[in-house]
Structure 1
């Protein structure tokens, strides 16, 4: 877990960032109603999933799905990267 919050770039950050900015955004944009419950559940159980959600952008997600993503997300790392 420390790899996710390390100041230096890590493989974990790269992999999860790639997932967030592609497959997760796409899946939730086009099939959000079918999958958001699973993402929320996993994010509660595993901070890594919360971290991935924190790196996703709204893209084509409905406002309803996007709001649920934001509530489940841990965006502390991502906010630090943009500051």
Structure 2
């Protein structure tokens, strides 16, 4: 996926969530949700790049909530061991990312991963 395609995906994913997920306009953007969900499962490296791209593009409450409880949470649940060091590094340097970690539900995530990230998850929401 080239940068232009990634940018299109990021913008469509953001629009899908900001415009309300049940409008006719967002039905045209549902592909972005599906694609990122597929990347989380099958291409986690690309999913990581898109998650960071979404965060860099928009920090509105609705986007942050949906990133935390969606692709970031799923990435941590499915590929946490491969990404825990990068998640830790990103949290150390990025306050918005630290905030995101507080919106991740822990139920499906390996407790060892959560333990490593405990210092960033003091204010769950």
TM over 0.5: yes
1:28 aligns with 2:76: yes
Distance 2:77 2:106 in 1: 8
Identify if the C-alpha distance between structure 1 residues 27 and 41 changes in structure 2 by more than 3 Å, giving closer, same or farther: same
Distance 2:71 2:117 in 1: 14
Aligned partner of 2:120 in structure 1 is 72
Q: In structure 2, how many angstroms separate the alpha carbons of the residues matched to 1:45 and 1:74?
A: 16
Please list the CA deviations of residues 32-69 of structure 1 after superposition, one character each: whole Å capped at 9, or x if unmatched.
01001111111111100000001101131111011223
Higher Cα Rg, which structure:
2
Higher RCO (C-alpha 8 Å, min separation 6) = 1
Call closer, same or farther: CA 1:74–1:14 in 2, change over 3 Å: farther
RMSD of aligned residue pairs (Cα, Å)? 1.7
Scaled by the length of structure 1, what TM-score is found? Answer: 0.71
Structure 1 segments, 4+ long, off by >6 Å, are: none
Unaligned residue ranges in structure 1 (runs of 5+): 1-10, 79-83
Give the whole-Å Cα distance in 2 for the aligned partners of 1:38 and 1:70: 15
How many residues are treated as equivalent by the alignment?
67
**What is the TM-score normalised by the length of structure 2?**
0.49
1:60 aligns with 2:104: no
Distance 1:46 1:35 in 2: 16
